[in-house]
A and B are shown apart, each in its own frame.
Chain A
Amino acid sequence: MNLVLTIVLDGLIEASWLFVVALGLTLVFGVLKILNIAHGSFYALGAYIAATVVTASAAHHLPPAAGFVAMLLTVAFVAGAVGVLLERGLLKMFYGRDEVVLLLVTYAVFLILEDVTKLIWGVNPIYATQPYELFGNVAFAGLYYVGYDLMLIPASAAIGFAVWFGLNRTIRGKIVLAVIHNEEISLSMGVRVSRVYAAAFGFGVLLAATAGALTAPKISMQPGLSSDVIILSFAIVVIGGLGGVEGAAVGAILVGLARAASVHLMPQAELFVIYLIMAAVLLIRPEGLFRRETARRI
């Protein structure tokens, strides 16, 4: 019984931050129709910036809570700016090209950001553990958990709900949905599609970086972080179906649970169980679990 509970909780903790990353990826794909390989780099960027801010605030003897808030705000600001700048300055030049070419453009961005993070933060692992003690420890049903980890679950649920609400219940969100469905008609109805593009990409980067910031206290930041995260979030959006909040949530929970289960029951299968699920979902439902079939042209 305890084992099941452990797996579920570990899985949900894992799923919570993966969900936020995948949400950004799926949103960018929905609006811009780009599968953004550099998305993992934005996650890493968020984590590194968070580490810098946390370390700096600890050096100035600010309370950890202040450091935590400062970390989130700084990451949000920098990530949003980086996202909008990248979209306006770089991606815009490649619209209308083949989808593989756009994918490679983001691959180039991934390569560049990989070295930029190395140049700024070096190759040695860095840590930002101060906020990790913020929420104390929690003991229940004979299990001990770090409060910070458990806090991630409601935090990401709140982010998910906010995004869902923003998309489905506000006028701006409806405009974004309209662009997702058909950008030409949106354009003809007077929607400034290019602004939606910039905003959506910026927001996608923001989500990835926020997830990075939220996980920064848990992990050690070192090169290679981004390529692992991107492949996990790819699996999630493929499992859930590209372009939907619900899909990202279900995909993240599935991946999180599968990973936690394999860590506890069968550690040697940890890496491959996720891709196995992804391959299985693709073979049975190539559109993902949560994607409507689209009519095809003859």
Chain B
Amino acid sequence: MRQWRLHPLMMLLPVLAAALAGRLLPVWTLSLATVAASNALVALGIVILARTGNVSFGQGLFFAAGGYGVALVANAWGITDAAAQMLIGAACGGLLGLLIGPLIARYSGIFFGMLTLALSMVFYGALVKSTALGGSDGFNVGRPTLFGIVFVDPREADFMLYAISVVTTGIAGIAAAILFRSEFGLVSLAVRENNLRVEYLGLSANRVIVANFAIAAAFAGASGAFALMAQRHIDPQFAYWTTSGEFVFIAVLAGYQTVMAVYVASLALELVRSFSNLYLPNTWQLVLGLFLLAVILFLPRGIGSLWAGKPRRSGAPAMAEPVPERGGAP
């Protein structure tokens, strides 16, 4: 039925190649690509969650939770290892997601979005007013290390950060592709189509949503850790609604068809942003807005529709990648 597909694990090779290619890239692209990869990780979480039919407008909450968690741990116990920080960030985000998930899994559609937005803004409000965490100015953290290696040369440090963020998001993407084909991934789609019928089949729709929500939250938390390592500074802006909006922006830009599109969209957004920042410093938001409108208008199913096929049922909402039939994939 479908064209021949690679097993997702085969994608490990291009991911490693992309990480090593960072050696050849000029420095400014390294930090840009790091930010793009880390944003893509949050957007990937949104795509995963969107497969259950819910879009979160508050991923900034977990993004900030991961960032602040890592920053506090780093300053309190001196954990500067980049890989450990990434795991701490993912744990902070994921745990918070598990905590909040059951509360909001009952809601759907616009209420789900509004509630996640509200929670992230509660967090933002609390952060701005907490003097212990630096209030609206935030605070700084030290340079990350990796496996005991201290990077003195900033170029080396940038490359390390680039490599680890690309590898992490790459592995997350591969995991997502495997997840989408699993039974769990298919049930998630079923929840989007009709959660009551899923319940009739003896499955808990809420539990499926909570699991997806926690995955998305863990991804956002890990991404927060990367953002922290890249900026070596954290402030409440991490949790502000425009930050969350940008992640949804990337997810919609990518479309919900392929995992790859999320990276392309994130990179495209970062490129548009930094070039318009460079050449049109006063109107970069305008350029960004026009870019978004153009993509929504001319690529209704996102950037992914440039190379991924059309969904099989034309009547279905273009939210998810076409699901390969059992045994249909090689």
Contact = CB atoms under 8 A, between A and B. Distances in A.
A162 interface: no
Interface stretch (B148-156, B166-174, B220-228, B288-296): B288-296
A268 B129 CA distance: 6
Given A104-B292, A112-B289, A271 B125 contact: yes
Interface stretch (A47-55, A165-173, A210-218, A274-282): A274-282
Main secondary structure, interface of A, reads: helix
Interface in A32-88: 35, 37
Contacts of B275: none
Interface residues of A, number: 47
A287 B108 CA distance: 11
A238 B252 contact: no
A104 B249 contact: yes
Given A100-B55, A101-B252, A282-B111, A112 B285 contact: yes
Given A107-B245, A118-B282, A282 B107 contact: yes
Contact of A275 (B125, B196, B288, B289): B125
Contacts of B318: 98
A248 to B, nearest CB: 15
A114 B285 contact: yes
Nearest to A107: B245
A119 interface: yes
Q: Which of A111, A268, A275 has the most CB atoms of chain B within a 10 A radius of its CB?
A: A111
B187 interface: no
A93 B296 CA distance: 10
B289 A108 contact: yes
Interface stretch (A5-13, A124-132, A201-209, A227-235): A227-235
Given A227-B242, A283-B103, A238 B118 contact: yes
A238 B114 contact: yes
Interface residues of B, number: 45
A112 B286 CA distance: 4
Given A111-B288, A283-B103, A119 B118 contact: no
A112 B290 contact: yes
Contact of B283 (A98, A119, A278): A119
Contact of A279 (B55, B118, B288, B292): B118
Nearest to A272: B125
A109 B129 contact: no
B289 to A, nearest CB: 4
A107 B122 contact: no
Q: Which of A100, A114, A235 has the most CB of B within 10 A?
A: A100
A282 B283 CA distance: 37
A111 B124 contact: no
A287 B109 CA distance: 11
Nearest to A230: B241
Given A112-B286, A272-B121, 20 more contacts: A97-B296, A98-B319, A99-B109, A100-B55, A103-B113, A105-B292, A108-B292, A110-B289, A111-B286, A112-B285, A115-B285, A115-B286, A115-B289, A116-B286, A119-B283, A227-B241, A238-B114, A271-B125, A272-B122, A278-B114
CB-CB nearest 3 A-B residue pairs: A272-B125, A271-B125, A111-B289
13 contacts: A99-B110, A103-B113, A107-B245, A107-B249, A108-B292, A108-B296, A112-B290, A115-B285, A116-B286, A238-B118, A271-B124, A274-B125, A287-B111
